[in-house]
Amino acid sequence: MERTLVILKPSAIERSLVGEVVKRIEQKGLIICGMKMMQLDEKILREHYAHLVEKPFFPMLVASMTVCPVIVMCLEGKDVVEVFRSMTGSTNGRKAAPGTLRGDFCVSGQQNIVHASDSVENAKIEIARFFKPDELFDFKPRNIRSIYADDEI
Ligand code: TYD
């Protein structure tokens, strides 16, 4: 099954929204196959946000992402990259649809609670960036047949 990378950003940690995000992930039926707390630094953020390094807001983005530890998660599920991106909502919390994480829990374009991989290809690169192989667990919950039909897994 497909995997995606999620980062619970400092805006989620400091605002005590970790439980809300994890609750939605669990309620949806996504499998958590890795989860840990870590302190990000500019080096890893220059890789992770390589497409934004030249933007004027990049120094502010680094500051906001390093202000406290984050929680990184690896999720597994059918089409999970697309599923979790739609649960995340648009980048700017003021424009994100109600019902999405950003739509329900933030009003900022930068302090926007979560990162979610935007493609299957990027998810593979991002998971390898944040997790060592032995930090990821290849298991299926025993109720997997209540989550998916037989022809979906
Ligand atoms: P981006 O990859 O464009 O969006 P997303 O997180 O929805 O995949 O941007 C990465 C992060 O950079 C975004 O979550 C918050 C920050 N950011 C800003 O601070 N200002 C901006 O104008 C943009 C576009 C992004």
User: What pTM was estimated for this model as a whole?
Assistant: 0.97
The yes-or-no verdict on residue 153 having pLDDT over 90 is: no
The percentage of the chain sitting over the pLDDT mark of 90, rounded to a whole number, equals 99
Torsion from C-alpha of 15, 55, 126, 142, nearest 10 degrees: 40
Contacts of 15 (CB under 8 A, 6+ apart): 105, 113
**Residue 51 bears catalytic tag:** no
pLDDT band at 101 (very low <50, low <70, confident <90, very high): very high
Atom number in ligand 1 closest to CA 118: 8
Residue type, position 92, single letter: N
Q: Which atom of ligand 1 is nearest to the CA of 115?
A: 6
